[in-house]
Amino acid sequence: MALINDRIKKMRIKKGLTLIEVAEYIGVKDATIQRYESGNIKNIKHETICKLAELFQCDPCYLMGWSEDANIVDNSNSNITNSAVVQGNNATTLIVKNGDTYKKEISEQAVELLRIFESLNVKEQTELLSFAFDLEEKNNKKQKEENPCQNF
């Protein structure tokens, strides 16, 4: 948990923001932000992480310690194409920024979801990802409840 605390403080200082400025943006008291930075608050809501990432203009995954890259990924050079049109098959190709390709047959709904995601601003993308993580967590809990023997 110390990683998230350090990163919140580091990004606040890097952006030249005071505890009060961050607190006002998030909608909490400055003492709360100080407690985030000191580690006195152990469970920070995902909405708060999203707001902090938006304010700091960084990737929420960086704040959480899931990524070493603080920069928000720029998807402007990414391109999603349906290779079925070009190659006559059912595969969909996702061409990523560094030129690597990932080919996998995916549904039309998945392609539509990617299209929608690409059309959103960073805040909206973060909200969509948070919603998706929540759904995934609910689904995992449901599966564990339905199949308790798989927990062993």
**Residue located via tokens 């009060």:** 20
- pLDDT averages per 10-residue partition of the chain, 152 residues: 85 92 93 94 88 90 83 48 41 51 66 82 85 88 76 50
Kindly report, residue by residue over 47-60, the tens digit of the pLDDT.
899 899 999 988 88
* Cβ atoms of 93 and 81 closer than 8 Å: yes
Which domains does the chain possess? Answer: 2-64 (1.10.260.40), 74-123 (no CATH)
* Cβ atoms of 105 and 93 closer than 8 Å: no
Kindly report, residue by residue over 74-83, the tens digit of the pLDDT.
444 444 444 4
